[in-house]
Amino acid sequence: MSFQSLGISIEVCERLKAGGIVKPTPVQTKAIPAVLKGQDVIAKAQTGTGKTLAFLLPILEKLDLEDESVQALIVAPTRELALQITDESNKLTKQLGLPEALAVYGGQDVERQMRKLQGNVGIVVATPGRLLDHLRRGTISLQKVRTLVLDEADQMLHIGFLNEVEEIIAQTPKNRQTLLFSATISDGVRKLSKKHLKQAVDITIKAEKVTVKEIKQFIIETTDRKKQYDLLETLKTHRPFLAVIFCRTKRRAGVLNDALKRNGYKSEELHGDITQAKREKVMKSFRNAEIQLLVATDVAARGLDVEGVTHVFNYDIPEDAESYIHRIGRTGRAGGKGLAITFVAEKDERTMTLIEKEIRFKLKRKTVDDEPLRSQQKRAPQGERKQTKKEPKREGKRESQASSPPRGKRGKGTDSPKRGRKKEDKGGRSSRGSRNDRQSSFGKNSGRKTGKQSRPKRSR
Tens place of pLDDT for every residue, the chain, 460 residues? 899 999 999 999 999 988 888 899 999 999 999 999 999 999 998 766 789 999 999 999 999 988 889 999 999 988 878 888 998 999 898 888 888 899 998 877 888 888 888 878 899 999 999 999 999 999 999 999 999 999 989 888 877 899 999 999 999 999 999 999 988 888 999 999 999 999 999 999 876 554 555 789 999 999 999 999 999 999 999 999 999 999 999 999 999 999 999 999 999 999 877 876 787 789 889 988 999 999 998 866 665 767 789 999 999 999 888 788 888 988 876 556 789 999 999 999 999 999 998 888 899 999 997 554 433 333 333 333 344 444 444 444 433 343 344 444 444 444 434 444 444 344 444 444 444 444 444 444 444 444 444 444 444 3
Is the four-CA dihedral 28, 33, 37, 43 of positive or negative sign?
negative
Per-position DSSP letters for 75-99, written without gaps between them: E-SSHHHHHHHHHHHHHHHHHHTPP
pLDDT of residue 381: 38
**Distance from C-alpha of 236 to C-alpha of 350, rounded to nearest angstrom:** 29
3-state secondary structure of 254: helix
Q: 165-171, long-range: CB within 8 Å, 24+ apart, which pairs?
A: 165/75, 165/128, 165/192, 167/132, 167/135, 168/73, 168/75, 168/128, 168/131, 168/132, 168/135, 168/142, 169/196, 171/135, 171/142, 171/143
pLDDT of residue 375: 35
Q: Which of the listed CATH numbers 1.10.287.470, 3.30.360.10, 3.90.1150.10, 3.40.50.300 matches domain 4-204?
A: 3.40.50.300
What's domain 215-370's superfamily in CATH? P-loop containing nucleotide triphosphate hydrolases (3.40.50.300)
CA 341 to each of CA 196, 255, 286: distance values in angstroms, whole numbers, following the listed order: 45, 20, 20
Domain ranges across the chain: 4-204, 215-370, 386-453
**Distance from C-alpha of 42 to C-alpha of 45, rounded to nearest angstrom:** 10
pTM of the model: 0.55
Domains 4-204 and 215-370 alike in fold: yes
